[in-house]
Amino acid sequence: MKFICIRQSIILIYTILIIVILISISFTYIITKNNYNNDIITEEIEDELEFICEDENNCEDSVRKELLIEQYNNKKLIALTFDDGPSKYTETLVDEMKKRNVPVTFFILGENASKRMDTLKFQIDAGNEIGIHSYTHKLFTKLNEDEILEQINKTKEVIKKVYDKEIVYIRVPYGSRNKKVDSSLEKANLTDVLWNVDSKDWKFKNTTKTYSYVIKKVKGNDIILMHDTFKTSIEAAVKIVDKLLEEDYTFVTVSEFYETKNIIELNK
């Protein structure tokens, strides 16, 4: 009986020891992980953020920037982008994203926008970013420089009617470029924005398939390509956003995405 009791005590002591060791390992992991996260805000970045924060009005900006730097470091930033609109579905998308406090970037077709100026204004007023796609979705590599610039300038004119900021981003139709296209973009002072996750929403035209496909492809710090011209794309986008918000991703405009990336790369 005495022997059994000693055995039980030894087992109990061992169990307690193992639990203590496991807890210590977990704490060490958490502390190391947090230190690693803090390291990305280097002294230089901190100075920069403090400088922005000196002006009280910009303090909110500084806090947002700090969050985005940390999220980029944790591979948790997403820029959700939509091409080819505005369409009759765009306002629903804007409403749904606004409810979730998620900004998106629209690469618009000038011709579509000219027929839906109220929608374009609605997109802008909700705090989303606007870039150019083209005027009539022509393949730029088949156009001469004057024709490319016409596609761009006509679209700029449409946007100008409701938006006074300069447009700096374009996504060329089909992502198709050559030297002539590049030199035209340079003349128009535009940066071409590509993507690394193609939702293939135009091909699936199916909410669940588009949703599952994107979720599988997302790795963090992604620019996702979708189209606000299909009802299924809007439905899929809402599901994608809800799922990724649940997983602690932060959504940003293309400008914020590039700005954050640049801060980190410049301070490396």
Pairing of strands 191-192, 250-252: unpaired
Residue 65 parent element (H or E): helix 59-73
Strands of the chain, DSSP E: 77-83, 105-109, 129-134, 169-170, 191-192, 197-198, 222-227, 250-252
CA distance 214 to 201: 9
Active site residue 227: yes
Nearer CB in complex with Zn ion: 87/221: 87
Are residues 107 and 134 in contact, defined by beta-carbon separation less than 8 angstroms?
no
The token pair that represents 230 in the structure block: 């299909």
Query: Angle at CA 63, nearest 5°, toward 59 and 64?
Result: 115
Nearer CB in complex with Zn ion: 137/261: 137
Which of 65, 84, 103, 181 forms a contact with Zn ion (CB under 5 A)? 84
Active site residue 137: no
User: Is residue 222 within the footprint of Zn ion (CB under 5 A)?
Assistant: no
Give least dist CB 229 to Zn ion, A. 9
Q: Which stretch binds Zn ion (CB under 5 A): 33-41, 75-83, 213-221, 228-236?
A: 75-83
Catalytic residue (choose from 83, 84, 201, 222): 83
DSSP states along 151-215: HHHHHHHHHHTT--SPP-EE--GGG---HHHHHHHHHTT-EE---SEE--HHHH--HHHHHHHHH
Give the interface size with Zn ion as a residue count (CB under 5 A): 2
Q: Which stretch binds Zn ion (CB under 5 A): 78-86, 89-97, 162-170, 182-190?
A: 78-86
Q: Which stretch binds Zn ion (CB under 5 A): 44-52, 79-87, 142-150, 255-263?
A: 79-87
Catalytic residue (choose from 84, 201, 222, 227): 227
Q: Of the candidates 90, 142, 104, which has an alpha carbon nearest to the alpha carbon of residue 225?
A: 104
Amino acid (one-letter) located at 256: E
Nearer CB in complex with Zn ion: 83/129: 83
Nearer CB in complex with Zn ion: 84/235: 84
User: Is residue 228 within the footprint of Zn ion (CB under 5 A)?
Assistant: no
Rg of the chain, C-alpha, whole Å: 25
Nearer CB in complex with Zn ion: 77/130: 130
User: Is residue 83 within the footprint of Zn ion (CB under 5 A)?
Assistant: yes
User: Is residue 201 within the footprint of Zn ion (CB under 5 A)?
Assistant: no
Show which residues are catalytic: 83, 227
- Binding site residues, Zn ion, CB under 5 A: 83-84
